[in-house]
Structure formats: C-alpha cells, structure tokens
Amino acid sequence: MGNPMHEIVLASTSPYRAQLLQRLHLPFTTAAPQVDEARLPDEEAAALVQRLAEAKARAVADIHPDALIIGSDQSASHQGRILGKPGNAERAREQLASLSGGTVTFHTGLCLLDAPSGKTRVADVEYIVSFRPLSDAEIRAYVALDNPVDCAGSFKSEGLGVSLFERMEGADPTALVGLPLIRLCQWLREAGIAMPPAEEH
C-alpha cells in the first residue's frame, strides 16, 4: 500500500489535527471534506467515527488521486449517550456539569486511504477520561478561560482542561486531541514512509 513518493493529505480543517500531524515532520496539505456527519439510527460511537473518518478521506480522493489521505473523526460517550460539540458557552457549562465526577470514553476514528489503489485502513482508538467532582464556579471559570465550545466533551485536554480530570487512561494520548499518531505512524511505515522521516541533506 502506497510508496514514499505519495503526497500526504489531511482531510480536515481542524487546527488541532493539523498541529498534531506537524509533529511528524512530514510535508502535507489539508483539504476540507464535504461529508454529512449526521449519526445513523442506533449507530454506536465506535461505528460512527470509523464510518465518518473513511467518508472524509474518500471525499477528497477525487481532488488528490495520487495521495495518501488521512481522515479522522471523534465522538465522546457518557453513560451510553453520545456527546456533541457544545457550540456555545452555556451548553459547554451544562455538558461539564453533567460530566462532573463521571467518566467519558472518547472514540477517535482514523482512516488512511491509498487513493490510487482505493485500499483503506480504518480503526477506532479509545481514550478514557475520568472527571473529578466540579463546582459551578470551577466550570464557569474553566469555560471562560479555555473557551472549549468546538470540542466534544467541552474541554481541551491539551489546555487547561487537564485541571478538570481525576485520571486519564489510554494507549495514545494524541487520540484524545483528535488524531491518533501512534497508529498513524504504524500505518505510514507499512505504507513505505520512513517514520521518523529520513534527514534531508
């Protein structure tokens, strides 16, 4: 699957995912996938994120037919309920109040699509966050300072959100931010791309 000469495309406009991918020191471009992200009836979080990660990658394949395309999607679940992005500060506060003292499972779907061959690798990478009990004052202060309105679960783990947690569990902390780099590096190596990349001379 793939070869070292492939262009790499991140099928996302998320600044968080782009920042993560920059850690790998690989040249890449980004593309905005046009995908209906609505959940299917009774669709579980793990199935949802894998389906959307692949759909996002395939959505930009026509524009980048010779590329390795990375798609990703994330969802959070709490007590069997899927959490969306709050969208505003009031909903972020409500979401955090409901999570106080509870545990959230984050599902991050990852897809690597070899556009020339059409071959895909798709996975769901889980990460579990346990919140400490949070007071209304703490929730208000956190939302005002970190403004997590575009984050599922209403927090930024790479920011002040870490102050809300009791513990974090998972194989890959980058999955929590939105792009599981450990799994991605494995797939890129299997696709023939040196990781870490070779030094330029």
| Catalytic residue list | 73
DSSP alpha helices (H): ranges in the chain?
15-22, 45-59, 89-99, 136-146, 173-177, 181-190
Q: Nearest Cα to 37, choosing from 71, 5, 77, 66?
A: 71
Phi first, then psi, for residue 3 (nearest 5°) are: -155, 165
Q: Across the chain, which distance is largest between two alpha carbons, in Å?
A: 56
User: Number of H helices and number of E strands within the chain?
Assistant: 6, 7
